[in-house]
């Protein structure tokens, strides 16, 4: 049997781990909502604050320790206006696609939310826009679930962590990906290399009179199964889980 050299144990320095305020963590995670209107439009978001938040965000999981995330920050008025122009074009294109689908199928598309149009119309006024990217492109055969999850699962958690870090500092953001309808145009406008993949866009700004609450969501017991798909826990912890119809 082949033997391998013994690796000496390395004693790491002991670091005091501060206690975690669970309530504060839960509040930040459960009240990070999209903020489109209640923004302090004239107040810039400081560069050092954005970079602090990115430092927090890049503690998110990443496959094979690749750290492939990249962040393009737009603060120059002309650059923001260019992104807003692309976004509005995609917004109009989406509306046309939905209208055409309704004509062909007779199925009414989801109603346009005023807040979505508001964002499109005023995106250029946002204090900053953060485009979250990943160095590299999805594998040419990324039609498998494993490869898709491996690629996007190594960058999107950082985008969410960034939203939460911003929220903790009084900065609102919105998770949107509509610009990806015009990914090539966006890449050309901002010099993004061909081997870089764009993901979500986060328009950000300090909040003004924003009331951020928990959203109404289905409770855990309605969306959680135990040991087998479709097996839900009973109301009493001492009872065995029961199999119920899954949705």
How far apart (Å, rounded) are the C-alpha atoms in residues 82 and 156? 24
Going from the C-alpha of 142 to that of each of 137, 155, 178, 225, the distances in angstroms are 10, 16, 21, 29
How far apart (Å, rounded) are the C-alpha atoms in residues 63 and 240? 36
- Answer for the pair 62, 69: CB distance below 8 angstroms, yes or no: yes
Mean pLDDT of 180-198: 97
Query: What is the SS3 assignment for 171?
Result: strand
Q: Smallest Cα–Cα separation from 66: which of 136, 8, 129, 131?
A: 136
Number of H helices, E strands in the chain: 8, 6
Of 149-153, 186-190, 191-195, which range is least confident?
Answer: 149-153
- Answer for the pair 35, 210: CB distance below 8 angstroms, yes or no: yes
Q: What is the residue-averaged pLDDT of the chain? A: 89
Q: Which pLDDT does position 99 carry in this prediction?
A: 76
pTM: 0.85
Domain segments of the chain as ranges: 26-212, 217-247
Q: Smallest Cα–Cα separation from 35: which of 184, 156, 163, 148?
A: 163
Q: Which pLDDT does position 50 carry in this prediction?
A: 98
Q: Which pLDDT does position 200 carry in this prediction?
A: 98
Phi, psi of 232 (to 5 degrees): -105, 155
Query: Where residue 246 falls among pLDDT bands split at 50, 70, 90?
Result: low
The pLDDT tens digits for 82-110 are: 999 999 999 999 888 777 777 788 888 77
Q: Which CATH number fits domain 26-212: 3.40.109.10, 3.40.50.410, 3.40.50.620, 3.50.50.60?
A: 3.40.109.10
The pLDDT tens digits for 112-128 are: 889 999 999 999 999 99
- In this model, does residue 236 exceed pLDDT 60? no
């Amino acid at each position: 049997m082949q033997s391998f050299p013994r690796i000496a144990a390395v004693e790491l320095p002991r670091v005091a781990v501060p206690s975690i305020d669970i309530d504060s963590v839960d509040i930040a995670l459960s009240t990070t909502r999209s903020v489109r209107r209640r923004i302090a439009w004239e107040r810039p978001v400081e560069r050092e604050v954005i970079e602090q938040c990115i430092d927090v965000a890049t503690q998110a999981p990443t496959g094979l320790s690749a750290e492939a995330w990249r962040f393009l920050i737009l603060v120059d008025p002309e650059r923001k206006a260019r992104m807003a122009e692309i976004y509005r074009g995609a917004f109009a294109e989406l509306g046309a696609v939905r209208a055409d689908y309704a004509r062909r199928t007779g199925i009414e598309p989801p109603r346009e939310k005023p807040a979505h149009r508001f964002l499109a119309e005023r995106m250029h006024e946002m204090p900053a826009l953060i485009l979250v990217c990943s160095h590299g492109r999805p594998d040419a055969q990324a039609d498998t679930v494993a490869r898709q999850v491996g690629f996007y699962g190594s960058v999107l958690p950082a985008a969410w962590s960034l939203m939460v870090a911003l929220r903790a500092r009084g900065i609102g953001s919105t998770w949107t990906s509509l610009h990806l309808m015009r990914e090539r145009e966006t890449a050309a406008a901002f010099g993004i290399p061909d081997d870089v993949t764009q993901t979500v866009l986060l328009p950000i700004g300090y909040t003004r009179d924003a009331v951020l609450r928990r959203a109404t969501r289905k409770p855990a017991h309605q969306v959680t199964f135990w040991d087998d798909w479709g097996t839900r826990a009973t109301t009493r912890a001492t009872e065995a889980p029961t199999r119920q119809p899954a949705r």
